[in-house]
Amino acid sequence: DGGITQSPKYLFRKEGQNVTLSCEQNLNHDAMYWYRQDPGQGLRLIYYSQIVNDFQKGDIAEGYSVSREKKESFPLTVTSAQKNPTAFYLCASSTGGGNTEAFFGQGTRLTVV
């Protein structure tokens, strides 16, 4: 089945630790995205990548980092510099820009303990 796989589904982090969220797609999409979802705020863009080895900051990139070494993979690292990391994180991919459909993964819920 083609799609986007995010792992893990649930993740717990101690304060001061970095954690990495995985996102893999087998849709042969060029563009990949990371969003953060908080109650009552909708989805906010963290980072996006239009092509391998290239990525751009979104609206709330501070405290996050990404890499795009392979077309299929776009991992997100939540660093200790992110002051309020508890949220639902969603990865998406599309064939191109805003005129194409974005497909979403099932999300990772990160909780700081």
Partner 1 sequence: QKEVEQDPGPLSVPEGAIVSLNCTYSNSAFQYFMWYRQYSRKGPELLMYTYSSGNKEDGRFTAQVDKSSKYISLFIRDSQPSDSATYLCAMSENDYKLSFGAGTTVTVRA
Kindly tell me which of 4 and 66 has the beta carbon lying closer to partner 1.
Answer: 4
User: Which C-beta is closer to partner 1: that of 80 or that of 95?
Assistant: 95
Q: Which residues are 21's β-sheet partners?
A: 76
Residues in the chain: 113
Looking at the Cβ atoms of 11 and 43, the one nearer to partner 1 is: 43
What φ, ψ does residue 90 adopt, rounded to 5°?
-120, 135
Residues that bind partner 1 (CB under 8 A): 4, 6, 31, 33, 35, 40-45, 48, 50, 56, 58, 88, 90, 92, 97-99, 101-107, 109
Please name the residues in contact with 37: beta carbons below 8 A apart, sequence gap of 6 or more. 43, 44, 87, 88, 89, 90, 107
Q: How far is the CB of 48 from partner 1 (least distance, A)?
A: 5
